[in-house]
Chain A
Amino acid sequence: SQQGEEDPQALSIQEGENATMNCSYKTSINNLQWYRQNSGRGLVHLILIRSNEREKHSGRLRVTLDTSKKSSSLLITASRAADTASYFCATDSGGGADGLTFGKGTHLIIQP
Chain B
Amino acid sequence: NAGVMQNPRHLVRRRGQEARLRCSPMKGHSHVYWYRQLPEEGLKFMVYLQKENIIDESGMPKERFSAEFPKEGPSILRIQQVVRGDSAAYFCASSPQEGANSPLHFGNGTRLTVT
Contacts and interface: CB of A to CB of B under 8 A. Distances in A.
B72 interface: no
Interface in B58-112: 58-59, 91, 93, 98-109
Contacts, number: 77
Name the residue among B45, B47, B100, B107 with the largest chain A CB count within 10 angstroms.
B100
Given A92-B99, A104-B40, A42 B4 contact: yes
A100 B100 contact: yes
Q: Is the interface of A mostly helix, strand, loop or mixed?
A: loop
Nearest to A91: B100
B104 A100 contact: yes
Q: Is the interface of B mostly helix, strand, loop or mixed?
A: loop
Contacts of A97: 48, 55-56, 58
Sorting the interface of chain A by its residue count into under 10, 10 to 19, 20 to 34 or 35 or more gives 20 to 34
Contacts of A104: 40-42
Contacts of A43: 43, 91, 93, 104, 106
B59 A96 contact: yes
A10 to B, nearest CB: 10
Interface of A: 2, 4, 30-31, 33, 35, 40-45, 48, 88, 92, 95-105
